[in-house]
Amino acid sequence: MIRSLIIMLMLFVAHDWAQSSDHTAPLIPGSSKLSSHDQWSLLFDGMTAIGTLLVALLAIFGQRIRSWIIRPSISLSVGDKPPYAERKEQADESTSAAIVSYQLRLEISKKGQVYA
The confidence score (pLDDT) of residue 97 equals 85
CA distance 84 to 36: 73
The confidence score (pLDDT) of residue 107 equals 87
- Distances 27 to 10, 19, 32, 35, 51 between C-alpha atoms, Å: 9, 12, 11, 13, 23
3-state secondary structure 48-79: HHHHHHHHHHHHHHHHHHHHHHCCCEEEEECC
The confidence score (pLDDT) of residue 51 equals 95
The confidence score (pLDDT) of residue 36 equals 82
Query: Does the pLDDT value for residue 112 go beyond 90?
Result: no
Query: Does the pLDDT value for residue 113 go beyond 80?
Result: no
Interval 56-80: pLDDT, tens: 999 999 988 888 888 888 888 888 8
Interval 81-109: pLDDT, tens: 888 888 888 888 888 788 888 888 898 88
107-111 vs 73-77, strand pairing mode: antiparallel
The confidence score (pLDDT) of residue 78 equals 86
Q: Which ranges in the chain belong to alpha helices (H)?
A: 2-19, 36-69
Interval 20-54: pLDDT, tens: 555 555 555 555 577 788 888 889 999 999 999 99
